[in-house]
Amino acid sequence: MPGVPPVRPVAIILSENRHARVLAALSLACALAALGRTVIVFAHGASVTVLRQDACWPEDETLAARGCATVPELLFSTQELGVTFMACESGLHATCTPSSALHGFVTTGGLLGLFQVQPGAEIVPF
């Protein structure tokens, strides 16, 4: 449509691994992807631990009991909706997390790689 700017991809930058922020970021990723937006979640620094296969979220027990979405459920939903994930290589080193400990859908890279994968993306920090 003439005069309508193209829809830009969205890069959600996770900067910490607090449960509430992770839930909010993953919920936003799901909502945007459900609306047809291209979404990538970049886990920076210590937040790479969010993407570990063995990540444990004690807070999820209460949420699940109340019928709310949990971190693992939101990770599954993001996958169904086509959201991509990238873990910061420096964060992996800083947290002594081998890339083999991450979910299989996670790629690794740095901020430069993120912007090469999603040039012109709108940035949403969490």
Neighbouring CB atoms inside 10 A of 20's CB total: 9
* pLDDT tens-place string over residues 34-80: 999 999 999 999 999 999 999 999 999 999 999 999 999 999 999 99
pLDDT at 1: 56
* pLDDT: which is higher, 7 or 5: 7
d(CA 88, CA 107): 9
Q: What pTM did the predictor assign? A: 0.91
Helix 71-80 to helix 19-34 angle (10° resolution) is 20
pLDDT at 4: 66
Domain ranges for the chain, please list them: 10-125
Angstrom CA distances, 83 to 37, 86, 122, stand at 9, 10, 15
pLDDT at 19: 96
CATH of domain 10-125: 3.40.1260.10
pLDDT at 119: 85
> Is 7's pLDDT higher than 90?
no
d(CA 34, CA 54): 27
Indicate the residue type of 28.
Answer: L
**Would you say the C-alpha torsion 37, 35, 104, 27 has a positive or negative sign?**
positive
pLDDT at 6: 72
* pLDDT tens-place string over residues 77-105: 999 999 999 999 999 999 999 999 999 99
